[in-house]
A and B are shown apart, each in its own frame.
Chain A
């Protein structure tokens, strides 16, 4: 590819659009109610789809009798396990994820067993919601109720009820002879652990526990499927990745991908939880049977009962330091709950645990454990917030032990360019140290604290990913630009893409409109996740714009009758260069667009890439808490998020990501948890009793964007969407421990637990 000098590659100071805070193109429709989310689509003749869910945490399904329901007038289709082909147990790539279709087919519809309360057992499509509801009550399921197990530590015991009688722990040599609920053991190690701990002057070892927490997206899962007599399907759904939905549905329903068109609707939050399929294959199957469009929308209760939270965990962390503050060795054992099927994010949990530090001798062992609760799904930086919470608490305690400022202690051991991470690669330019320096110098860090207040700090790391993305950019006759991409916009990425396209083309961003194209209208694009959209699709966008520019230059060359490489693109204009410089007046993009018909036809640029070189993002959070000494209630008084964005394409949305991560982290730290009864049933499947923070629980969250450019991206972008949820739990735990003089090692740090810890501390003479 011949390289054309572009504004987009110019130094930061010369950027005109990237880095500005323009209005959000999707904002108007969202605040006026015009935007169409998953549940807003309807078609003539549409049926209502409803799911019958297991009332038991663990039960063998001996039989399902649908005859009465099928006979009910208005019922047009019913599907059960018999409508889905069984799949072999193997992990196959789906985009950048590894998935096991044996498990997916069982999660969308229970087969041999119901493995959690809320596990789908049948689905009905009927002419009205009340008929559908009545039909569900007429389906007779013959359950043999089995003993259940909810918590991973209990699920690991030899006498625990087995969810899958064929599960032999992988990663253990020699392989165990008996099945268990432990799906997998993994180990990452470097250096000599024993020697490392021998060099330490102090060693701290602590056990931690965290609870599963739900992503809490405001919009429940929803879709509308329409399959015609020829087997051609259309599917509207709220998803982070419509191509991934297509892949899964095609596989589960034995359809060719070309027969399914998936349209990603406007999305009301996902945070990782909308990267999997739940309703979509059921709606397609029901529509295929009834030959009528079928719409399915979950209730909030269904969202809590049957969609993926992230793992709860039990962890041990041990770190040794010399008196001079250098970490000599670190060790961790992580047990993550996967829910009913294997595949917790314990792998990334292991890889991230010690990633912010340069540690010569380290080992992390992880276990992936199944139990009778919904299968976990991705939740911002899956796995990392859990293990890094435990590690960052021990780091804080070590700093206290050494009498060192916690930021200084981190600076002494922090990862830098050239540090080799425990999971393999050497870091390129990274921003941990820059965020720590920014924290140290932030007025928040030196502000005085009031009575019963404490200040905590924690750092966090997430890899970020690249991967497959396409972009297709059309220069319209009037010089405006339509940009089509395949990553659904959750955090404002349409605006960011428009900014990058405008910068590259040298035109006003107001003339660029970004659309999320459906699966038939653009090439395969992996989902919005892994903080990849602005990085990878951004790269594709810049490439597509460059491809269009090459055409624009060629058209100008044709008009001027000079050679193509004698034309450069500057400031939105083609200009003659070299010996032809200034021989013709520059031609604007709009002029060239207007003449396109006469110079060779429409002008477009497109790019299909597998983006490499994603830049990890580090962050450091500072938080002040005030603890009510009589009730244990924790109030967040002040919060500052500092994170390396590489380059903030739209700083406002980057700040939004920072603030959102901190807000979700506050919930995870203080109050969010699933409350199960002795019967294995969830007691708080709703926002009233699953206590996510409300606006008045939070202070205005302050942000600082650090920019250490990622050399692999034309504008230096790193992903920013996930790292913000990594540090909050430890930062808050560290703040509470400094406020009350004793440490809690279990999340959530809800008032009863904080009060108990303070009372125990007092009883021990604290």
Chain B
């Protein structure tokens, strides 16, 4: 097994396309664990952390461009990011522990393609897009289009994610993320939920996106759940519809982490709780 840490995007693309089993490496908090467990056996590991832009957070078009290898700790410490996207930052900061936070990245969380990845529902709710580079050039994709199933992405051979883009926000907008775990930390989401919404001056919801994690083979954007909120004052009736839509979208499995019935139940509970927090945050803005 070979390790390379290229310093240009072109070199990285060339390396990743050159060998049969090549893997990008960001923080390694998934990859190294999988290596040790014998789940993956790459011939080449391409460390992305030295590539330009992969570890920076930049303002762009009123939004933020986040390098794919930026760590959870760096996201938390950014002076503006958490004010605008508190849900995305809290989701990323739920990953692992203090030690893991020093390594784990959004790009890794997304490309590892676990259906339970914490930051992914928050990014989907946020309407985030990713920039992908590869032998065929550069393309942009919505976050919800990246994972295709457990451990699987639509990335072609040689392709990797360079950055994640969080768009500009209208006033009175906020997001939130909650997950359900039996413990308080160091656990994998049994259900995760991200909500992002915008209110008008009267407090009516004008835009809303709801995403669920760990209830299907990949994180889901639940359009009906968002629609349940739009046009409402986020009252009890709207929440009833939200809960029903969230539960309806679930297609989970029974596994060691939770049962089908329980996951469907909890998806509704979390959707309501997450939307409530997002709404409070949006109302709290001047």
- Give chain A's interface residues, CB within 8 Å of chain B: 630-631, 633, 670-671, 675, 683-684, 687-689, 691, 693-694, 696-697, 750-752, 755
CB distance from A753 to the nearest CB of B (A): 9
- Which of A633, A694, A752 makes the CB contact (< 8 A) with B259? A752
- Chain B, residues 255-284, CB within 8 Å of chain A (1/0): the string is 111110110011001000000000000000
Cα distance A688–B97 in the bound complex, in angstroms? 12
Q: List chain B residues, Cβ under 8 A from A683.
A: 255-256
Q: Which of A671, A675, A684, A694 contacts B186 (CB 8 A)?
A: A694
Q: Assuming the A-B contacts A630-B269, A631-B266, are A694 and B256 also in contact, with contact meaning beta carbons closer than 8 angstroms in the complex?
A: no
Q: Which residues B193-230 have CB closer than 8 A to chain A?
A: none
Nearest A residue (CB) for B259: A752
CA distance A691 to B257 in the complex (A): 10
Which chain B residues lie closer than 8 Å to A750 at the CB level? 182
- Considering the complex, give the chain B residue whose CB is closest to the CB of A671: B182
A697 with B265: in contact, given A689-B257, A752-B259 (CB under 8 Å)?
A: no
B184 at the interface (CB under 8 A from A): yes
Q: Can you report 25 A-B residue pairs in the complex whose CB atoms are below 8 A from each other?
A: A631-B180, A633-B182, A670-B182, A671-B183, A675-B256, A683-B255, A683-B256, A687-B186, A688-B186, A688-B188, A689-B257, A691-B182, A691-B183, A691-B187, A694-B185, A696-B184, A697-B183, A697-B184, A750-B182, A751-B182, A751-B190, A751-B262, A752-B262, A755-B262, A755-B265
User: In the complex, given contacts A675-B256, A689-B256, A696-B185, what are 19 additional A-B residue pairs having Cβ atoms less than 8 angstroms apart?
Assistant: A630-B269, A631-B269, A633-B180, A633-B182, A670-B182, A684-B256, A687-B186, A688-B186, A688-B187, A688-B188, A691-B182, A691-B187, A693-B183, A694-B184, A696-B183, A751-B180, A751-B190, A752-B259, A752-B262
Which residues in A have their C-beta under 8 angstroms from that of B259? Answer: 752
Q: How far is the CA of A683 from the CA of B258 in the complex (A)?
A: 13
Task: Please give the distance in Å from A156's CB to the nearest CB on chain B.
Answer: 26
Measured CA separation A694–B183 after assembly (Å): 7
A694–B186 alpha-carbon span in the complex (Å): 8
Q: Which residues of A contact B266 (CB under 8 A)?
A: 631
What CA separation (Å) do A430 and B1 show in the bound complex? 64
Cα–Cα distance between A630 and B261 once the two chains are bound (Å): 13
Closest A residue to B266 by CB, please name it: A631
The residue of chain A having its C-beta at the shortest distance from the C-beta of B272 within the complex is A630
CB-CB nearest in chain B for A690: B256
Question: In the complex, how many angstroms separate the beta carbon of A244 from the nearest chain B beta carbon?
Answer: 33
Chain B interface residue count, Cβ-Cβ cutoff 8 angstroms:
19
B10-60 interface with A by 8 A CB criterion:
none
Of B180, B256, B258, B266, chain A has the most CB atoms within 10 Å of the CB of B256
Distance (whole angstroms) from the CB of A139 to the closest CB of chain B: 17
Min CB distance B280 to A, Å, is 18
Question: Could you tell me the distance between the alpha carbons of A693 and B269 in the complex, rounded to whole angstroms?
Answer: 24
Q: Hey, which chain A residues are within 8 Å of B269, CB to CB?
A: 630-631
- Please name the residue on chain B nearest to A750 by beta carbon: B182
| Chain A residues closer than 8 Å to B188, beta-carbon distance | 688-689
Tell me the minimal C-beta distance from B201 to chain A in angstroms.
Answer: 32
- Chain B neighbourhood of A675, CB < 8 A: 256
- Measured CB to CB, the nearest residue on chain A to B261 is A752
Q: Closest 4 interchain pairs by CB?
A: A752-B262, A675-B256, A696-B184, A630-B269
| Smallest beta-carbon distance B254→chain A, Å | 10
- CB A8 to nearest CB in B, in angstroms, measures 46
Chain B residues with Cβ below 8 Å from A696 are 183-185
Max chain A Cβ within 10 angstroms of own Cβ: one of B185, B259, B261, B266: B266
Residues in A neighbouring B190, C-beta threshold 8 A: 751
A696 vs chain B, min Cβ distance (A): 4
In the bound complex, residues from chain A placing their C-beta under 8 Å from that of B183 are 671, 691, 693-694, 696-697
Q: What's the Cα separation between A696 and B259 when bound, in Å?
A: 25
Interchain CA distance A633-B178 in the complex, whole Å: 14
Rounded to whole Å, the gap between the CB of A160 and the closest CB of chain B is: 24
Please give, as numbers and ranges, the residues of chain A lying within 8 Å of B182 by CB-CB distance.
Answer: 633, 670-671, 691, 750-751
Please report which residues of chain B, range 138-190, place their CB below 8 angstroms from some CB of chain A when the two chains form the complex. 180, 182-188, 190
- Assembly CA distance A697 to B258 (angstroms): 19
Q: How far is the CA of A687 from the CA of B96 in the complex (A)?
A: 13
CA distance A693 to B187 in the complex (A): 10
**How far does the alpha carbon of A696 sit from the alpha carbon of B255 in the complex, in Å?**
25
Residues of B within 8 A of A633 (CB): 180, 182
Closest residue of B by beta carbon distance from A675: B256
Q: How far is the CA of A755 from the CA of B265 in the complex (A)?
A: 10
A-chain residues with CB within 8 Å of residue B186 when the two chains form the complex: 687-688, 694
A697→B186 CA distance, assembly (Å)? 11
Q: What CA separation (Å) do A687 and B183 show in the bound complex?
A: 12
Closest approach, in angstroms, between the C-beta of A426 and any C-beta of chain B? 44
Q: Which residue of B lies closest to A629 (CB)?
A: B269
- Distance A688 CA – B190 CA, assembled complex (angstroms): 13
Query: Chain B nearest CB: distance from A756 CB in Å?
Result: 8
Q: Which residues of B sit under 8 angstroms from A697, Cβ to Cβ? A: 183-184
- Complex formed: what's the CA distance from A224 to B261 in Å? 49
Q: Which residues of B have CB within 8 Å of A694?
A: 183-186
The docked-state distance in angstroms from the alpha carbon of A671 to that of B184 is 12
Nearest opposing residue in chain B for A686, CB measure: B37
Chain A residues with Cβ below 8 Å from B187 are 688, 691
Contact at A752–B258, with CB atoms within 8 Å?
yes
Q: Which residues of chain A come closer than 8 Å to B255, judged between CB atoms? A: 683
Bound: A557/B160 CA distance, A: 87
In the complex the two chains form, what is the Cα distance from A633 to B184 in whole Å?
10
A645, chain B: closest CB distance, angstroms: 31
User: Could you tell me the distance between the alpha carbons of A670 and B181 in the complex, rounded to whole angstroms?
Assistant: 12
B residues within 8 A CB of A630? Answer: 269
Measured in the bound complex, the distance between the Cα atoms of B180 and A693 in whole Å is 15
Return B255 CB to nearest CB of chain A, in Å. Answer: 8
The CA-CA distance from A375 to B258 in the complex, in Å, is 27
**In the docked arrangement, what's the CA distance between A689 and B265, Å?**
21
Residue from A697, A752, A755 with most neighbouring chain B CB atoms (10 Å) = A752
A751 and chain B: residue at smallest CB distance: B182
Name the B residues within 8 Å of A670 (CB-CB): 182
Enumerate chain B residues within 8 angstroms of A684, measured Cβ to Cβ: 256
Q: Which residues of A contact B258 (CB under 8 A)?
A: 752
CB-CB under 8 A from A691, the residues of chain B are 182-183, 187
In the docked arrangement, what's the CA distance between A684 and B256, Å?
7
Q: Enumerate chain A residues within 8 angstroms of B184, measured Cβ to Cβ.
A: 694, 696-697
- The distance in angstroms between the C-alpha atoms of A684 and B190, with both chains bound, is 15
- Residues on A with C-beta less than 8 A from B261 are 752
- Chain A's closest residue to B182 (CB) is A671
Residue of B nearest to A689 (CB): B256
Contacts of A671 in B (CB 8 A): 182-183
